[in-house]
Amino acid sequence: QPARAVDLVEEESGAPGEEQRRWEEARLGAASLKFGARDAASQEPKYQLVLEEEETIEFVRATQLQGDTEPSAPPAPTQAQQKESIQVVRRSLPVFPFREELLAAIANHQVLIIEGETGSGKTTQIPQYLFEEGYTKKGAKIACTQPRRVAAMSVAARVAREMGVKLGNEVGYSIRFEDCTSERTVLRYMTDGMLLREFLSEPDLASYSVVMVDEAHERTLHTDILFGLIKDVARFRPELKVLVASATLDTARFSTFFDDAPVFRIPGRRFPVDIFYTKAPEADYLEACVVSVLQIHVTQPPGDILVFLTGQEEIETACEMLQDRCRRLGSKIRELLVLPIYANLPSDMQARIFQPTPPGARKVVVATNIAETSLTIEGIIYVLDPGFCKLKSYNPRTGMESLTVTPCSKASASQRAGRAGRVAAGKCFRLYTAWAYQHELEETTVPEIQRTSLGNVVLLLKSLGIHDLMHFDFLDPPPYETLLLALEQLYALGALNHLGELTTSGRKMAELPVDPMLSKMILASEKYSCSEEILTVAAMLSVNNSIFYRPKDKVVHADNARVNFFLPGGDHLVLLNVYTQWAESGYSSQWCYENFVQFRSMRRARDVREQLEGLLERVEVGLSSCQGDYIRVRKAITAGYFYHTARLTRSGYRTVKQQQTVFIHPNSSLFEEQPRWLLYHELVLTTKEFMRQVLEIESSWLLEVAPHYYKAKELEDPHAKKMPRKVGKTREELG
């Protein structure tokens, strides 16, 4: 068996990967590259790139997404367009002909729902029109909310360029832990969560003349809460203008909610999109994606490709696989630029996806569903859609929240396909069967408010003086149990008293822009005199899962480097260790490189840490260090996360309160230790319910930090209790 032989050679040669690579190259050289030939009988094009027999995916053309424009329309001259002045581009957007009509409608109505195809210019143009129309006179501000950080940043950058100002002057953005605004900033792009926090300092949003809730169709938790709050503010601030902007999805709902506010429709400009499905289901959609991208690349006319995956890890893997294969195919194929885009991607990398593709090359953008409606990338002709997205789900009965990769909705699939028809007639390849589309996809995605925990939002609403949450004006109310559980958890954390009123501690917790459990942990660091360490842990947790770098060709080295950071006690201490050593290196990028640590994540952790440190005074926590006494750090973490605990039973780990079966994530430093009691930062559901970021604790600490929540009895060791009574005589009895 050749594979075996290679393994042996590899071990001996001392150059891991090298033999493997050469062997695979040789094999690929022998494989044939077939280019798409038309099947004469059906007149259906067949797309095949034969690398190896089993690696070919066959698509069948099924339906067509209707366009407003003739299919024969020539591709828009993207390159040329880029060269033209930015004002010409602005005037070419679908919203432009409606500028005056739109401004008139805004002048005549306090609340206006604006519906328009993605890419029609809602986000970038409408705030500029308002600016030009004088809505920011006397320093009044315009807010435009985005559900995603990346969108807020990139759109603000684009608008600043269009207006010819420096980002952070007249135009800026504000996202959690990053404020790129100044006194002069009148156009403020911000995440919906940030506008929500503005209510804490300015409950009537007095400094704003217009609030535009953008991407309303996304129905994020924060957007939904904003609806209720803004509707209320609008009642006693008649001069405030409220715009609700959405892609072409169910805008009637928004209109009804805002007392039948008028809907302004921006007619779309869309080319038809041919939709293809796979003949058979694909077992490994990541692999299928990579193969399909190459198939498109070698068989299809020019035009960029957009691939939808579910998250950072997946995107990075896919990009690596693609780059790897392109390298191996070398000059056999034209140049393929592989560009990722996801929430945590640093801004310099984000900017690259908007740069025009060089002539002769093709661009493939591998994105999360951020590219579904929030961002428009010019030049996309092909969309590849595996049909999945990562969704939060919440079980109010158990209080367990988890992120799950699930099939996307039909509405999502349709938005995704639409991305292919913006500049010319396009094609969308769905990596699932037409049958699966019909039978396995839901019509729409359930709004986030109905599938997430509400601790954060309830704490915020309580801080705004909204006590009667049951009667809050929700577009879609959350499940009653979820609301109740949030109140219960906040009570357990000491944020609310038994009457459901905010406590002093609760007020402080609301000051910190992090989850209630995390803020509780920070507050508790005062008692255990370890705020320095806890700040670091908090910052590292917030850049979660992207600390370690694991390149395919250096897996062994990378894993060794990671293990070298392990400390007894668990993953939180590992994070602390990584950060501390990095700080000692003088925050060096070289150090990161040598230790397989992601420099960018660390830099972000440092930013977050500085900002949290700046807030310590406000919540009356002094700076102190545990001086190596990690028990104190672990107790402070337990004080925040006593809700997320599990114990080892004979049948594996079970959560302490709800007795749910859970597993330690294989990446955890405690994977092999299997401590008896532990707490986890989060649960991720993939093949199993995995606990990520795990810390070993002692059950007695739970009584110390949460005596109102745990009773000594439930923390007794089940093994001890169930021990069979001895039947035989003891040694003493025998004498």
Binding site for ligand CDP (CB under 6 A): 93, 116, 118-125, 154-155, 158, 354, 376, 378
CB of 257 to ligand CDP, least distance (A): 21
Interacting residues with Mg ion between 329 and 358 (CB under 5 A): none
CB of 213 to ligand CDP, least distance (A): 13
Size of the site for Mg ion (CB under 5 A): 1
Could you give the C-alpha distances from 556 to 379, 561, 563, in angstroms and in order? 40, 9, 11
Contact window for Mg ion (CB under 5 A) among 63-71, 117-125, 156-164, 308-316:
117-125
Nearer to ligand CDP, 93 or 339 (CB): 93
DSSP lists the bridge partners of residue 403 as 392, 684
Nearer to ligand CDP, 122 or 634 (CB): 122
**Would residue 586 be called left, alpha or beta, if left means φ above 0 and alpha means ψ between -120 and 50 degrees?**
left
Nearer to ligand CDP, 156 or 194 (CB): 156
Indicate which single residue of 59, 94, 116, 123 sits in contact with Mg ion (rule: CB under 5 A). 123
Nearer to ligand CDP, 57 or 113 (CB): 113
Query: Under a CB-based contact definition with an 8 Å cutoff, are residues 33 and 49 in contact?
Result: yes
Of 626, 675, 644, the C-alpha closest to 541 is 644
Of 285, 424, 324, 307, the C-alpha closest to 364 is 307
- DSSP label at 496? B
Alpha helix (H) residue ranges in 448-570: 455-463, 480-492, 504-511, 516-527, 531-542, 555-563
3-state secondary structure of 23: helix
Q: List the single partner that 354 binds among Mg ion, ligand CDP, none, CB under 5 to 8 Å by kind.
A: ligand CDP
CB of 156 to ligand CDP, least distance (A): 9
Contact window for Mg ion (CB under 5 A) among 51-59, 118-126, 347-355, 629-637:
118-126
| Residue 170 φ/ψ, nearest 5 degrees | -70, -35
Query: Under a CB-based contact definition with an 8 Å cutoff, are residues 172 and 182 in contact?
Result: yes
CB of 155 to Mg ion, least distance (A): 7
CB of 159 to ligand CDP, least distance (A): 8
Nearer to ligand CDP, 376 or 482 (CB): 376
Other residues' Cβ atoms within 10 Å of the Cβ of residue 503: 16
Contact window for Mg ion (CB under 5 A) among 60-68, 123-131, 323-331, 708-716:
123-131
Task: Enter the tokens of residue 37.
Answer: 């030939």
CB of 98 to ligand CDP, least distance (A): 12
- Which residue type sits at 282? E
- Per the listing, tokens 């896919």 go with 318
Alpha helix (H) residue ranges in 138-190: 149-163
Give the C-alpha separation, 300 to 304, whole Å. 10
Parallel/antiparallel/unpaired status of strands 362-367 and 304-308? parallel
Nearer to ligand CDP, 354 or 474 (CB): 354
Of 360, 358, 362, the C-alpha closest to 297 is 362
Other residues' Cβ atoms within 10 Å of the Cβ of residue 204: 12
Nearer to Mg ion, 249 or 683 (CB): 249
Nearer to ligand CDP, 118 or 669 (CB): 118
Contact window for Mg ion (CB under 5 A) among 121-129, 274-282, 647-655, 671-679:
121-129
Contacts of residue 176, defined as CB under 8 A and 6 or more positions apart, other chains included, come to 149, 191, 193, 194, 513
Query: Under a CB-based contact definition with an 8 Å cutoff, are residues 513 and 729 in contact?
Result: no
Nearer to ligand CDP, 377 or 391 (CB): 377
Q: List the single partner that 154 binds among ligand CDP, Mg ion, none, CB under 5 to 8 Å by kind.
A: ligand CDP
Supply the Cα-derived Rg of the chain in whole angstroms.
28
Give the C-alpha separation, 453 to 475, whole Å. 17
- Tell me the three-class secondary structure of 546-603, residue by residue: CCECCCHHHHHHHHHHHHCCCCCCEHHHHHHHHHHHHHHCCCCHHHHHHCCECHHHHH
Q: List the single partner that 158 binds among Mg ion, ligand CDP, none, CB under 5 to 8 Å by kind.
A: ligand CDP
**Environment class of 396 (CB within 10 Å of its CB; exposed 0-12, middle 13-18, buried 19+):** buried
CB of 215 to ligand CDP, least distance (A): 8
CB of 94 to ligand CDP, least distance (A): 8
String of contacts with Mg ion for each residue 70-109, x by CB under 5 A: ----------------------------------------
Q: List the single partner that 120 binds among Mg ion, ligand CDP, none, CB under 5 to 8 Å by kind.
A: ligand CDP
Nearer to ligand CDP, 157 or 454 (CB): 157
CB of 123 to Mg ion, least distance (A): 3
CB of 241 to Mg ion, least distance (A): 18
Q: List the single partner that 386 binds among Mg ion, ligand CDP, none, CB under 5 to 8 Å by kind.
A: none
Other residues' Cβ atoms within 10 Å of the Cβ of residue 586: 8
Nearer to ligand CDP, 158 or 572 (CB): 158
CB of 247 to Mg ion, least distance (A): 8
Residue 146 touching Mg ion (CB under 5 A): no
Task: Enter the tokens of residue 713.
Answer: 């009895």
Nearer to ligand CDP, 120 or 368 (CB): 120
Nearer to ligand CDP, 124 or 505 (CB): 124
Q: List the single partner that 209 binds among Mg ion, ligand CDP, none, CB under 5 to 8 Å by kind.
A: none
- Per the listing, tokens 């203008």 go with 241
Please give the helix or strand (H or E) that residue 315 lies within, else none.
Answer: helix 312-329
Report angle CA 325, 329, 330 to the nearest 5 degrees.
Answer: 115
Q: List the single partner that 609 binds among ligand CDP, Mg ion, none, CB under 5 to 8 Å by kind.
A: none
Centroid of chain to Cα 624: 33
Q: List the single partner that 709 binds among ligand CDP, Mg ion, none, CB under 5 to 8 Å by kind.
A: none
Q: List the single partner that 638 binds among ligand CDP, Mg ion, none, CB under 5 to 8 Å by kind.
A: none
Q: List the single partner that 155 binds among Mg ion, ligand CDP, none, CB under 5 to 8 Å by kind.
A: ligand CDP
3-state secondary structure of 191: strand
Nearer to Mg ion, 123 or 452 (CB): 123
CB of 289 to ligand CDP, least distance (A): 24
3-state secondary structure of 416: helix
Nearer to ligand CDP, 155 or 196 (CB): 155
Contact window for Mg ion (CB under 5 A) among 115-123, 432-440, 552-560, 680-688:
115-123
Of 64, 431, 417, the C-alpha closest to 274 is 64
CB of 246 to Mg ion, least distance (A): 9
CB of 304 to ligand CDP, least distance (A): 12
Residues in contact with Mg ion by CB under 5 A are 123
